[in-house]
A and B are shown apart, each in its own frame.
Chain A
Amino acid sequence: MDFEMGVEVEALRRELRDLVAHHVPSDYLGAFTDDPADLEMAQGFCRLLADRGLLCPAWPGEWGGRDASPWEQAAVREEMWAHHEPRGAQYMGVNWVGPTIMRHGTREQQGLHLPPIARGEVIWCQGFSEPNAGSDLASLQTMARRDGDGWRVSGQKIWTSYATMAQWCFLLARTSREERKQQGLTIFLLPMAAAGIDVRPIATMIGPHHLNEVFFDGVWVTDADVLGAVGDGWRVVQEVLSFERVGIARYARCERLLIWAPAALGAEWDDLPEDLHGRWARMVMHARRARLLAYRVVDLQSRGQVRPGDAAAYRIAVTRLDQESAQVLMDIIGFAALGEGEGLRFRRAVEDHWRYSISATVASGSIEMQRILLARALMAAS
């Protein structure tokens, strides 16, 4: 056995860490803040990564990538999420919009969309969830009606991250009513500048992170904007969701903040109540546990295998870790002054982690959906 990722992956990790250290302000907490400078920073950082072939390392060389192994991709996910995702909104384009277009797009679509994603110049948003289609995504109602040689899209999407800044939307809409609700769905690659789109930000308690509603009122799209076959959208989306399932390396940020805590608190660390030291140690163990569960999924991926139960189990473990570690870290900062310098940066990062963690068991496939998937896999195996 070998639990080391190997010299190549570690070199990549060091390179990323150096870039973060030199270019990302140490108080940066993500690109979706109300400060436009954060977005600018993230775009600049993406160009830096793109110049080094690090923005979409998993992509084939043909499209500006470097055919990185699943383990290298894991290291990129870890380093980026640990440092508050300095790629900003780009991870969506890089992680699943691009790969999906590579698999299902026409040559024209690939030529149009892949180079800008690879250069870090474009932001995508995901038009999936609707007010009445959350966990039950297939019951979505946004319609695309045939109109001449194109389509008219009408309806409403919700919880759309980055919609205010995105240039493109990866939209799932209903093009026909069929017997099963999973049928008759189609994917459109839709320019956000099109007439008839209205984006309204939703104020949330998740600190500076933005969510939006997007209204479509007869928005015109052409056949050239359809991804894959008309009516085949559900199958493609399943693939997208399975990219997302490995998803964010939440454990990496948890681990970074947990390990940082003693140094950030300095002498005050030793004065914490004994049981808090114990809860901290337990969380350190749980962070490792979630990381190893993620590695099981990556390991399977590297051998071209999928066990849906394993991905769901990882998601359950990591989202719970996110919330439990946030609670322990909040308790820790409650006992310390942390009024300036490194201490202040740590406190801000912990508070941000806590606010963001609230949504961990809800976003991109709720924990209940993960449990349903895992239960299905478990009972199928018996």
Chain B
Amino acid sequence: MNIELSDEAEEYGRQARRALGSAGGDRLAQQAEADPHARGALVDPVFEALGAWELDPRAGSEELEAGAALCRSAGWWALAYPVAERLCRPRDLDVDGLVVIGPGPPAAPVGGLRMAWAAVSLDGWRAVCAASPLRGPVRKSGYVVGLEVGSFERGGQGDVALGLVLPCWTLLGMLDRAMSLTRAHIAAREQFGQPLAAFQGVQFQLTDAEVERLGFEALATHALWSIEAGRADAVDDALALRLAAIEAADTVFRVCHQLHGAIGFCDETTLSWVSRASVPLRRLPLNLAGTGAALTRRLGRRGLSGLFGPNDEPSPTLPALRPERR
């Protein structure tokens, strides 16, 4: 058993977080909002320096784990840039990135970048597509635009799990950040003569959010390994992760907003930016209900792989230490 990312991947993630921090940190999301079409140019030099686009997550565990760590760091800064989606780029198509699309009208948070995209459906049909122009203020659209999809072809089966899992790592980084901001806030903010953190009602909300975040992290690591190991049920694992991710995000952001109080809705708090940035990732390509339904369909009568398989119950006809009860 080895259930953590490699030290190299973790170190790469830390470097990426530092580099994005030096390049502006939280201001990057604000600058992108002010000028959405320049959002690529804002971060391109950092990603160049990090060699981000030379990473091929399909090339093996090292690069896959590094990619995940990079996504997590981008999430920490609520970076307005589809890092995960670009890392998922299929090497056999002439595109800049890949998004998974759900049963609804195809859409993704990839507006304003002038790039070519591949879209893959949950059952592995793939098409080249173009992003529609940004419509309305990005603070409300979250850079989500419709996709004009070309003709679908088979061949994307290997893209689905990766396309679901890496964006979850971005979301995980956002949850890391939201929890960190909230811990700092309740330690500093005093009401009734003491820090909010001294109130058990506050502590218990925080712990329940942390359990969600840790559980999400554990499944994120597992789903990554499932891709690494080329497991046949990597898509099941990815959907299970996505379900946990959305549940965790719902709880974590609800708690973080509640514990921040009204200030958490305001642009001068980082939480407001992180929370808004998380919304497209939680809704697309499948929201909570859609993810649950997709997972349920795939699991059928089988369940997820684990300690027990569907046919593991022993037949009771064997000699025993005491007779069966009637």
A and B touch in the complex (CB under 8 A): yes
| A3 x B225 contact (CB < 8 A) | yes
What's the nearest-Cβ distance from chain B to residue A273, in Å? 12
Q: Pick the contact of B320: A24, A71, A310 (CB < 8 A).
A: A24
Tell me if A363 is interfacial: C-beta within 8 Å of chain B: no
Q: Which of A171-179, A188-196, A226-234, A283-291 contacts B (4 or more CB under 8 A)?
A: A283-291
Contacts of B215 in A (CB 8 A): 289-290, 292-293, 313, 317
Tell me if A133 is interfacial: C-beta within 8 Å of chain B: no
| B210 x A82 contact (CB < 8 A) | no
Contacts of B61 in A (CB 8 A): 1
Give the distance in Å from the alpha carbon of A370 to the alpha carbon of B208 in the complex.
Answer: 10
Report A252-294 residues with CB < 8 Å from chain B CB.
Answer: 252, 255-256, 258-260, 262-264, 269, 277-278, 280-282, 284-293
Contacts of B104 in A (CB 8 A): none
Q: Pick the contact of B299: A3, A26, A256, A284 (CB < 8 A).
A: A284
| A289 x B225 contact (CB < 8 A) | no
| Total number of A residues with any Cβ neighbor in B under 8 Å | 73
Say whether, besides A292-B218, A313-B214, A375-B207, A382 and B308 are in contact (CB < 8 Å).
no
Q: Pick the contact of B324: A27, A262, A289 (CB < 8 A).
A: A27
Contacts of A17 in B (CB 8 A): 314
Tell me if B307 is interfacial: C-beta within 8 Å of chain A: yes
| A262 x B301 contact (CB < 8 A) | yes
| A278 x B207 contact (CB < 8 A) | no
Chain A-chain B contacts (Cβ-Cβ < 8 Å), number: 196
What's the nearest-Cβ distance from chain B to residue A121, in Å? 16
Contacts of A21 in B (CB 8 A): 314, 318
| A22 x B318 contact (CB < 8 A) | yes
What's the nearest-Cβ distance from chain B to residue A72, in Å? 11
| Total number of B residues with any Cβ neighbor in A under 8 Å | 63
Contacts of A113 in B (CB 8 A): none
Say whether, besides A1-B224, A295-B3, A263 and B310 are in contact (CB < 8 Å).
yes
Nearest A residue to B326 by beta-carbon distance? A27
| B4 x A1 contact (CB < 8 A) | yes
* Most chain A CB atoms below 10 A, which of B200, B204, B226, B229: B204
Contacts of B311 in A (CB 8 A): 263
Report A1-39 residues with CB < 8 Å from chain B CB.
Answer: 1-6, 17, 20-28, 37-38
Q: Pick the contact of B222: A3, A20, A41, A71 (CB < 8 A).
A: A3
Give the distance in Å from the alpha carbon of A345 to the alpha carbon of B316 in the complex.
Answer: 10
Say whether, besides A1-B228, A24-B321, A374 and B210 are in contact (CB < 8 Å).
yes
Q: Which of B28-36, B115-123, B156-164, B288-296 contacts A (4 or more CB under 8 A)?
A: B288-296
Say whether, besides A24-B321, A41-B321, A1 and B65 are in contact (CB < 8 Å).
yes
| A342 x B307 contact (CB < 8 A) | no
Nearest A residue to B300 by beta-carbon distance? A262
Give the distance in Å from the alpha carbon of A78 to the alpha carbon of B121 in the complex.
Answer: 37
Q: Pick the contact of B301: A252, A269, A313, A382 (CB < 8 A).
A: A269
Report B280-326 residues with CB < 8 Å from chain A CB.
Answer: 292-293, 295-296, 299-304, 306-314, 316, 318-325
| B207 x A1 contact (CB < 8 A) | no
Q: Which of B39-47, B81-89, B180-188 contacts A (4 or more CB under 8 A)?
A: B180-188
| A262 x B310 contact (CB < 8 A) | yes
Mark each residue of chain A from 45 to 72: 1 if its CB lies under 8 Å from any CB of chain B, else 0.
1000000000000000000000000010
Q: Pick the contact of B218: A25, A260, A296 (CB < 8 A).
A: A296
Mark each residue of chain B from 1 to 28: 1 if its CB lies under 8 Å from any CB of chain A, else 0.
1111110000000000000000000000
Q: Pick the contact of B207: A37, A281, A295, A371 (CB < 8 A).
A: A371
Give the distance in Å from the alpha carbon of A17 to the alpha carbon of B312 in the complex.
Answer: 10
| A293 x B214 contact (CB < 8 A) | yes
Chain A to chain B contacts (Cβ below 8 Å), 16 pairs: A1-B2, A24-B320, A25-B324, A37-B322, A41-B320, A256-B312, A259-B309, A282-B292, A288-B222, A288-B240, A296-B3, A313-B215, A371-B203, A371-B207, A375-B203, A378-B183
B interface list, Cβ under 8 A from A: 1-6, 61, 65, 180, 183-184, 187, 197, 200, 203-204, 206-208, 210-211, 214-215, 218-219, 221-222, 224-226, 228-229, 240, 243-244, 292-293, 295-296, 299-304, 306-314, 316, 318-325
Closest 8 CB pairs of A and B: A292-B218, A262-B301, A375-B203, A26-B316, A21-B314, A382-B183, A281-B296, A1-B225
